[in-house]
């Protein structure tokens, strides 16, 4: 078979950012090493991509829709989407910017598509499942397969955390199902040749009619060249743990500090908290009020490539977040041989298994705190357990989560879209632990015959 010619739509793709922009860049770059790819992205990413040695006009094309995105961003902030809070407001308005980008891309590349210069169009971003596409029907008429995703997001707020939801300005979460009324929602799921879902929850939201074309494919991955260190210390008291993330209510760093207080006070543990956000001052006050300034270090923001310098010297990564979609930091820790301890809710719990990480079940704030305290106490009694689990964590990354591995799976999907044959296996469905991982019993009527599982 010849190498497919793929048009990659990645409005948000930047090698110098983190989160979704870095994911989109990393996946696009890895795919481009295996196919004849051309990436289309927003003008704000031009300079960073040029610094990677890519050639504008040959390897990628820039579209300038800043006239739309700037107005949408300003409106979202006016409605309360600011200070790292109210992201549901941004997502509610995001389709407007996406439609502007896609329409511009269609006008720019329609002649090439009509001339047969591309075999597949793959929309990598936006990743939110609430942002539809209007391209599927147009491409279907041309006989060009349209691949969408990975999509991820919208994990419901767990019961018992309504106060944190209000502090996050996430009242619109109650109205999230209204996204199914947005133009293009049904059309995208009807006309796409393949739909990638980054979590079990997002997969469960796919309509039954899309099941034969829906695949479980966690969006996060690891670049071994970027995370090239490894944990070398042997776990011993005092243990060293890390929290990495935005300091916002749903990340629950305050819960971690309360859970760890006995070990911190006894000198059996030191915590490194990396990140910044609106909760920074209250966390600093909490630490000072408990008299734990020498046992808890608030680092603030650290350049992404430097995070591993601290993390590789830790024994575990604690992720008490109660509403995580992808959990990329979990993979970064595992790549270094650092064991993740996660709240058993959302996408982060699906990235590990019981041999290389620890899941903490919970029903409310009190049970989350108690679960983390019990897990930390157990590790303090048996630190060597962390060393064995860390080895398995690194192996799991090598087997499943490098970008090269993920690109190879996408190539199998492209071949299936173009030539048919047996449905490819991308990622096996993980064992269901958390309540959010099994919404509506994961639409068991859809999954019973193994269609979505591959």
Q: For residue 67, what are its two tokens?
A: 């006239």
Looking at 238-247, 359-368, 435-444, which range is the least confident one? 435-444
On whether the CB atoms of residues 454 and 424 are closer than 8 A, the answer is yes
Say if residue 225's pLDDT is above 50. Answer: yes
Say if residue 433's pLDDT is above 60. Answer: no
Return the closest-CA partner of residue 206 out of 193, 184, 190: 190
SS3 307: helix
Query: How close are the terminal C-alpha atoms of the chain, in Å?
Result: 23
Compute φ and ψ for 451, nearest 5 degrees.
Answer: -60, -50
Which of the four pLDDT bands, split at 50, 70 and 90, describes residue 440? very low
Task: Please tell me the predicted confidence (pLDDT) of residue 84.
Answer: 59
Task: Please tell me the predicted confidence (pLDDT) of residue 441.
Answer: 40
Say if residue 176's pLDDT is above 70. Answer: no
Give 102-107 contacts, CB < 8 A, sequence gap 24+. 102/9, 102/133, 102/134, 102/135, 103/134, 104/63, 104/65, 105/9, 105/40, 105/63, 106/135, 106/138
User: Tokens 């109205």 — which residue?
Assistant: 175
Which of the four pLDDT bands, split at 50, 70 and 90, describes residue 95? low
Q: How far apart are CA 108 and CA 117, in angstroms?
A: 13
Say if residue 450's pLDDT is above 70. Answer: no
Average pLDDT of the segment spanning 140-158: 92
Return the closest-CA partner of residue 276 out of 300, 259, 295: 300
Which of the four pLDDT bands, split at 50, 70 and 90, describes residue 218? very high
- Which of 55-64, 130-139, 170-179, 228-237 holds the top average pLDDT? 55-64
Q: For residue 241, what are its two tokens?
A: 């743990």
Q: At what angle do helices 280-289 and 253-265 cross, to 10 degrees?
A: 20
Q: What is the DSSP string of 102-135?
A: HHHHHHHHHHHHHTT--SEEEEEE---TTS--S-
Say if residue 443's pLDDT is above 50. Answer: no
- Which of 165-174, 282-291, 303-312, 341-350 holds the top average pLDDT? 282-291
Average pLDDT, the chain: 89
pLDDT tens figures, 409-422: 999 999 999 999 99
pTM score: 0.90
Query: Does an H or E element contain 323, and which?
Result: none
Which of the four pLDDT bands, split at 50, 70 and 90, describes residue 89? low
Average pLDDT of the segment spanning 189-213: 95
Compute φ and ψ for 43, nearest 5 degrees.
Answer: -60, -30
Share of the chain above pLDDT 90, in %: 72
Task: Please tell me the predicted confidence (pLDDT) of residue 154.
Answer: 79
Q: How far apart are CA 39 and CA 61, in angstroms?
A: 6
Would you give the DSSP letter of residue 320?
Answer: -
Strand order in the sheet with 316-319: 296-300, 269-274, 239-244, 316-319, 339-343, 358-360
* Torsion angle defined by CA atoms of residues 398, 404, 407 and 412, in that order, rounded to the nearest 10 degrees: -70
Average pLDDT of the segment spanning 128-135: 89
pLDDT tens figures, 14-67: 999 989 999 999 999 999 999 999 999 999 999 999 999 999 999 999 999 988
Is 238 buried (19+), middle (13-18) or exposed (0-12) by CB count in 10 A?
middle
- Which of 7-11, 63-67, 181-185, 324-328 holds the top average pLDDT? 7-11
Average pLDDT of the segment spanning 167-180: 65
């Amino acid at each position: 078979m010849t190498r497919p010619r793929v048009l990659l739509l990645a409005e948000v793709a930047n090698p110098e950012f983190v989160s979704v922009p870095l994911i989109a860049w990393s996946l696009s770059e890895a795919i481009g090493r295996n196919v004849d790819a051309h990436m289309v992205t927003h003008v704000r990413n031009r300079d960073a991509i040029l610094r990677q040695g890519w050639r504008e006009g040959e390897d990628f094309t820039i579209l300038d829709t800043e006239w739309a995105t700037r107005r949408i961003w300003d409106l979202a902030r006016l409605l309360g989407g600011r200070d790292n809070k109210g992201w549901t407001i941004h997502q509610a308005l995001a389709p407007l910017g996406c439609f502007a980008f896609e329409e511009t891309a269609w006008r720019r590349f329609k002649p090439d598509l009509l001339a047969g210069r591309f075999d597949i169009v793959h929309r990598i971003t936006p990743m939110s499942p609430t942002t539809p596409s209007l391209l599927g029907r147009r491409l279907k008429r041309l006989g060009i397969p349209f691949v969408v995703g990975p999509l991820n997001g919208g994990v419901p707020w767990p019961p018992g955390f309504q106060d944190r939801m209000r502090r996050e300005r996430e009242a619109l979460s109650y109205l999230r199902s209204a996204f199914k009324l947005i133009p293009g929602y049904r059309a995208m799921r009807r006309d796409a040749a393949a739909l990638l879902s980054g979590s079990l929850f997002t997969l469960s939201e796919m309509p039954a009619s899309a099941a034969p074309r829906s695949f479980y494919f966690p969006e996060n991955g690891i670049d071994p060249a970027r995370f090239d260190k490894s944990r070398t210390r042997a776990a011993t008291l005092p243990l060293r743990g890390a929290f990495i993330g935005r300091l916002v209510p749903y990340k629950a760093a305050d819960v971690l500090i309360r859970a760890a207080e006995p070990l911190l006070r006894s000198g059996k543990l030191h915590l490194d908290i990396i990140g910044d956000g609106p909760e920074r001052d209250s966390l600093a006050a909490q630490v000072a009020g408990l008299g734990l300034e020498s046992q808890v270090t608030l680092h603030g923001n650290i350049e992404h490539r430097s995070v591993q310098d601290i993390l590789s010297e830790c024994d575990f990564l604690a992720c008490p977040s109660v509403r995580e979609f992808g959990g990329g930091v979990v993979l970064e820790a595992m790549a270094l041989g650092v064991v993740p301890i996660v709240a058993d809710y959302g996408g982060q719990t699906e990235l590990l298994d019981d041999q290389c990480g620890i899941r903490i079940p919970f029903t409310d704030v009190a049970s989350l705190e108690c679960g983390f305290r019990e897990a930390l106490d157990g590790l303090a009694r048996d630190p060597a357990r962390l060393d064995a689990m860390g080895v398995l964590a690194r192996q799991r990354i090598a087997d499943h989560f490098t970008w090269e591995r993920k690109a190879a799976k996408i190539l199998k999907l492209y071949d299936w879209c173009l030539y048919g044959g047996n449905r490819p296996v991308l990622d096996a469905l993980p064992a269901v632990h958390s309540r959010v991982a099994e919404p509506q019993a994961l639409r068991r009527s859809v999954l019973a015959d193994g269609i979505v599982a591959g």
